[in-house]
Amino acid sequence: MLFELGVAAGEMLLRADVIDWEECKRVALARQRRYFDAETPEGISEVDRAIAEQVGRNVTEMIRGLSAERGQTVTAAPLITGLRWISSGRGDFSAGQSLVEVKCTNKNFSAADYRQIVLYWLLSYASALENRGQEWSEGILLNPRSGQYVAFGFDEMLHAISAGRTKVEVLQVFASMLDDQGV
């Protein structure tokens, strides 16, 4: 919940350079409830507020830097179009064709983090083929806690992990896996 408060604060700082803590609490709670049985906290302690504000300021600074480097405007919560039984959702941020996922941890990025952003790319590729959206060309994993990020082109990543398959072949394998689930 504290991480979601920090990201919500970062989004507000990007939009208006001011933090509305009640709105941050509402946004963070709504996000947490998508995946967990989150309960509304009575309030935000001063310590939690200070941590969330620092995370929010780090997110803002890092996103603005990435945006400036790429000469693109930032979008908070870009649409990740679904496919078959996978419903549509929202990413963290985008700057042009760069998808930015925020991971606030004291460890390095994990294989699960890379899988998540590659799955988002795959969904964007399917969407682009069907003229329902754009294909992301770059993935960025950003850690506002450590101040580090990793940026990579999806074409380069695909070349490294696809065993020589083309994008279309990778999508076909993925789609067949979805069909095999029988959902």
Local confidence band at 3 (pLDDT 50, 70, 90 cut-offs): confident
Helix, strand, or coil (residue 21): helix
Comparing 181 with 120, the larger pLDDT belongs to: 120
Please give the average per-residue pLDDT across 124-139, as a whole number.
92
Tell me the C-alpha to C-alpha distance, in Å, between residue 173 and each of 50, 51, 111, 131, 166.
46, 43, 20, 20, 11
Confidence (pTM) = 0.85
Kind and range of the H or E run holding 100 = strand 98-102
Q: Is the pLDDT of residue 43 over 80?
A: no
Kind and range of the H or E run holding 140 = strand 138-143
103: CB partners within 8 A, 6+ apart: 109, 113, 141, 142, 143
pLDDT of residue 39: 66
Q: Around Cβ 96, how many Cβ atoms within 10 Å?
A: 17
Torsion angle of the four alpha carbons 182, 113, 115, 60, in this order, in degrees rounded to the nearest 10: 100
pLDDT of residue 148: 92
pLDDT of residue 41: 67
pLDDT of residue 136: 95
